[in-house]
Amino acid sequence: MSILNNMEKKDLKIAIVHDFLVQYGGAEKVLEAIAEMFPEAPIYTLLYNKEKMHGKFEGKDIRPSYLQKFPKFLRHHYRWLLPFFPVMPETFNLRDFGLVISSSGAWSKGIVTKLDTIHIAYLHSPMRFVWDYHEQYIREVQSQKLKVQSSIENFFLRPILNYLRIWDRLAADRPDHIIVNSKYTQERVKKYYRRESTVIYPPVNVDNVLDVVSVLNGKNNQLEQAQRLNKRSDRTLEQNYFLIVSRLSPYKKVDLAVEAFNKLGFPLVIIGEGRQKKYLEKIAGKNVKILGWKNENELKKYYTNARAFIFPAIDDFGITIVESMSYGIPVIAFRDGGAKEIVREGIEGEFFGAQTAEVLADSVRRFIGNEKKYNPEEIKKRAQEFSKERFVREFGEYINKIFNF
């Protein structure tokens, strides 16, 4: 019997809580899968920007916090509302629900539930900017490149972050059960929160080849065309640009890749939105194109024709790594974080060992020398291990175990 049928029999009401719906990224893809599993569950969130969601979660019961009533200017510069964030999850009225699932990179794990309510937190990361990214975050805020804080705000930044660290540690005790997106995150949760957790890798749409073919060609003989696309030697150098798909935030280190490719002169395409976009456009050479947000069909085209996928960040998992691999594209990634759990060196891609433009550039040159050895079918096969179907099955089994269904 399915998890939904079991819960209907138990008359169990479910709610979902997510930090923000103001930008579409990996955390929101996880939220989508959870929301599909529980289509009747309302989604509570601190802020909701319908325009930035580009149609995602359309028709869902979205219940934003009181911050949604703030003036539009403040909502668009929501980081200025930082002092309010710890309080907002605690104001959600979750009394009617027997199961609450929080999707949290920072705030939503801090919800307060009734004693008999089960709270399962899917943690994308411990609050990054108050723990291992703390000092680097302060430097970025204070740098002239990112004029996001006044000098007065900078003066109070350290005390605020210290307060948030204390709140975050206490909030991490509130979930009854914790799921994490990688072994890397599991280690950080144990270190900073002293909590045990279960790894369930995020859901990734890995069934792409035939869809891509129909988008690109509109032809009936999809299998034949898919086989043609698998032959990397058929792709021209003009098609085989290097690709980044990422939020344009400082910790994603996209600027590092821009500097490396400015030196290399190879074509680099960057897809994504974020507060660092203007700065990246300013430093990018003529060979680097920053395209902003693209819909799924457009994104498929760029994945299909990419020569390799560049991943310069330390990330907790790296959904875009798996997405690129599902098209048979090798990955060049920084050797840290969740990337080490996805990419096997020499099979799905290569690693570089330091976050500098020079080291990344050397890795790209090394990849070019080894490029012909990569087998697109082997790369796609690896991507299948992180499918959405696998996520739904494992997540459902986890909940069934908790409720003894």
Q: What is the pTM of this model?
A: 0.86
Structure tokens at 175: 């979930």
Cβ neighbours for 190, distance < 8 A, ≥ 6 positions apart = 196, 197
H/E stretch holding 243 reads strand 242-245
Mean pLDDT of the chain: 87
- Rounded to the nearest 10°, the torsion over CA 178, 179, 180, 181 is -160
45-84 pLDDT, tens digit each: 999 999 889 889 999 999 999 999 999 888 888 888 888 9
- Rounded to the nearest 10°, the torsion over CA 230, 234, 236, 240 is 10
Scan for tokens 């710890």, then name that residue: 86
Under the banding of pLDDT at 50, 70 and 90, the label for residue 173 is very high
The CATH class given to the 3-126+172-203+388-403 domain equals alpha beta
Instruction: With beta carbons less than 8 A apart as the criterion, state whether 253 and 313 touch.
Output: yes
Under the banding of pLDDT at 50, 70 and 90, the label for residue 230 is very low
Residue 216 has pLDDT above 60, yes or no: no
Helix, strand, or coil here: 269?
strand
250 or 342, which is more confident = 342
Query: Mean pLDDT throughout 292-313?
Result: 94
Structure tokens at 248: 């344009």
- Range with the lowest mean pLDDT among 72-86, 151-165, 213-227, 348-362? 213-227
CATH 3.40.50.2000 domain residues, the chain: 209-386
Residue 192 has pLDDT above 80, yes or no: yes
Q: Please, what is the end-to-end C-alpha distance for the chain in angstroms?
A: 9
pLDDT > 90 in the chain, percent: 72
CA distance 350 to 192: 30
Considering the segment(s) 209-386 as one domain, its CATH architecture is: 3-Layer(aba) Sandwich (3.40)
351-384 pLDDT, tens digit each: 999 999 999 999 999 999 999 999 999 999 999 9
* Residue 2: predicted pLDDT: 61
Under the banding of pLDDT at 50, 70 and 90, the label for residue 219 is very low
* Residue 136: predicted pLDDT: 59
